């Protein structure tokens, strides 16, 4: 061990984690006898250990996760192992450390940078609420704060702790984890689930008359009732089946509250509370950034009139229709950002829609692969967008859906798989159409 100086050293981390070189720090060493002993053994008593740089965790939490204890005999290898352990836990983007002599032994300091974290998603633990599981994990897993990293050994620690918790109930299945996109959102979550679950859903109640009484919705209940209990499956059901029902009745601010589950024998009774909110009526939107179409043209595409119930499903179809209108004129990158403004007193909703139109694309090359000479001749003859003309996505979609297959009429063969891709060149505002026949 080098005495008198503390030098920054890096942990062994994955190649994508950045390591930044830092400066050195010098300390005085007045304990020559202790220094000689350390030189002979390469170790010294750990007098002080601390960690800096984290906005999420306290120094003592990080040191505990590193596996170091004040008073233990330590050397450089121990510090390196501790740093490597922190670097691999998933909580930190980079880890560095420095060490040297202190009054009563050796001191070490780790500098860390917090890594991004995602919410924990407990998929099929009907015996516990999320609050109960979070409380268990906070008391049993180091560096768990209600969120989790996207990777690292802490995820296995959490799975083991959850497995131990369900084991107390006589459930001896394993628990696994995987990074998924949260149902109905762009957010990533770390899903923890019991593998090979044996619990089926016996009943599903919503606690709101609209959902309870709707025949169409009840017809879809077998998607959940009778199937294995899964919060993920339930959330998807709410998004795909329940939410459209409420939107169509003007409940555009409907909220789906955290479901509760009750285990009875080998089945689960589920309640998925709904907070409908008020029914809103439609007010004409305002448009910003639109130059290709005027406000009246855009408003005509939205299938709603002032004062009508704000049917959320028709509203969403309206935004898609506007995007389609742009695509038919070659604006493939056009993007709409509708922001609702609610008048709680009048119970009206008016959207402010920001439009980013992007370039107008023209037809580039039609590139065909996997065809015979006759087949390519027929496909090119059926293609209706000349090179250099404004690209029309609707014509392209119609070609892929029907006209292309009609071109092969009478030929003694067919293609099992047809791949397609639009290669956009935004700089030159051209788009190549690539079609691969297999």
Domain's final residue, options 88, 114, 140: 114
For residue 385, the domain's CATH number is 3.10.20.310
Residues 19 and 10: beta-carbon distance below 8 Å: yes
Domain's final residue, options 356, 380, 398: 356
- Structural domain tally of the chain? 5
Q: Could you tell me the CA-to-CA distances from 242 to 100, 202, 326, 357, 385 in Å, in that order?
A: 63, 19, 31, 33, 41
Averaged pLDDT, 384-392: 97
Say if residue 268 is in the same domain as residue 180. Answer: no
Residues with Cβ within 8 Å of 60's Cβ and at least 6 positions away in sequence, in order, are none
Q: How far apart are CA 83 and CA 55, in angstroms?
A: 18
Averaged pLDDT, 382-400: 95
Alpha-carbon Rg for the chain in angstroms: 31
Say if residue 29 is in the same domain as residue 88. Answer: yes
Say if residue 64 is in the same domain as residue 35. Answer: yes
Say if residue 171 is in the same domain as residue 134. Answer: yes
Say if residue 14 is in the same domain as residue 91. Answer: yes
Q: Which of 102-111, 138-147, 268-277, 279-288 has the lowest mean pLDDT?
A: 102-111
Q: What's the pLDDT at 18? A: 34
Say if residue 295 is in the same domain as residue 352. Answer: yes
Say if residue 187 is in the same domain as residue 227. Answer: no
Q: Which two tokens stand for residue 114?
A: 């917090």
Give one DSSP letter per residue of 11-41, joined into a string.
Answer: ----TTS-------EE-----HHHHHHHHHH
pLDDT at 37 over 50: no
Say if residue 75 is in the same domain as residue 139. Answer: no
Say if residue 9 is in the same domain as residue 109. Answer: yes
Q: How far apart are CA 339 and CA 328, in angstroms?
A: 24
Helix axes 59-66, 76-88, angle to 10 degrees: 110
The domain containing residue 123 runs over which residues? Answer: 118-194
- Nearest CA to 437 among 404, 410, 412? 404
Residues 22 and 8: beta-carbon distance below 8 Å: yes
Averaged pLDDT, 32-50: 66
Q: What are phi and psi of 424, to 5 degrees?
A: -85, 140
Averaged pLDDT, 215-226: 96
E-only strand ranges, 324-361:
335-343, 348-356
Q: Which two tokens stand for residue 376?
A: 């390519």
Say if residue 218 is in the same domain as residue 243. Answer: yes
Say if residue 99 is in the same domain as residue 25. Answer: yes
CA atoms within 13 A on the CB side of 416: 1
Domain's final residue, options 300, 335, 356: 356
Q: What's the pLDDT at 21? A: 33
Is the whole model's pTM more than 0.85, yes or no? no
Q: Which two tokens stand for residue 180?
A: 């998924």
> Which H/E stretch holds residue 237?
helix 231-237
């Amino acid at each position: 061990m080098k005495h008198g100086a503390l030098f920054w050293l890096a942990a062994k981390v994955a190649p994508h984690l950045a390591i930044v070189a830092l400066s050195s720090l010098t300390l005085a060493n007045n304990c020559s006898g202790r220094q000689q002993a350390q030189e002979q053994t390469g170790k010294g008593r750990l007098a002080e250990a601390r960690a800096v740089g984290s906005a999420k965790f306290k120094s003592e939490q990080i040191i505990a996760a590193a596996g170091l204890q004040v008073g233990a005999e330590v050397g450089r290898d121990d510090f390196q192992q501790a740093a490597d352990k922190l670097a691999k836990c998933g909580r930190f983007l980079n880890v560095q450390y420095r060490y040297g002599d202190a009054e009563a032994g050796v001191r070490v300091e780790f500098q860390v940078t917090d890594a991004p974290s995602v919410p924990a998603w407990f998929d099929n633990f009907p015996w516990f609420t999320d609050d109960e599981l979070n409380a268990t994990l906070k008391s049993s897993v180091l560096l768990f704060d209600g969120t989790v990293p996207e990777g690292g050994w802490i995820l296995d620690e959490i799975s083991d702790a959850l497995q131990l918790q369900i084991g107390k109930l006589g459930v001896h299945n394993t628990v696994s984890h995987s990074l998924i996109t949260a149902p109905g959102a762009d957010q990533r979550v770390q899903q923890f689930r019991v593998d090979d679950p044996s619990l089926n859903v016996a009943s599903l109640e919503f606690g709101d008359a609209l959902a309870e009484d709707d025949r169409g919705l009840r017809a879809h209940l077998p998607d959940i009732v009778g199937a294995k209990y899964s919060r993920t499956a339930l959330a998807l059901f709410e998004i795909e089946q329940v939410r459209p029902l409420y939107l169509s009745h003007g409940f555009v601010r409907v909220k789906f509250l955290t479901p509760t589950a009750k285990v009875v024998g080998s089945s689960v009774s589920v309640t998925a509370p709904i907070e409908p909110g008020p029914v809103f009526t439609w007010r004409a939107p305002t448009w910003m950034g639109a130059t290709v179409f005027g406000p009246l043209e855009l408003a005509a595409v939205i299938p709603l009139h002032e004062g009508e119930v704000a049917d959320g499903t028709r509203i969403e179809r309206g935004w898609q229709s506007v995007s389609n209108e742009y695509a038919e004129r070659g604006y493939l990158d056009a993007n709409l950002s509708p922001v609702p403004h609610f008048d709680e007193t009048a119970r009206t909703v008016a959207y402010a829609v920001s439009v980013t139109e992007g370039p107008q694309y023209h037809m580039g090359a039609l590139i065909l692969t996997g065809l015979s000479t006759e087949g390519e001749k027929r496909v090119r003859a059926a293609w209706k967008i000349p090179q250099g003309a404004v690209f029309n996505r609707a014509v392209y979609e119609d070609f892929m859906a029907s006209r292309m297959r009609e071109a092969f009429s009478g030929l003694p063969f067919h293609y099992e798989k047809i791949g397609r891709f639009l290669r956009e060149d935004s700089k030159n505002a051209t788009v190549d159409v690539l079609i691969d026949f297999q």
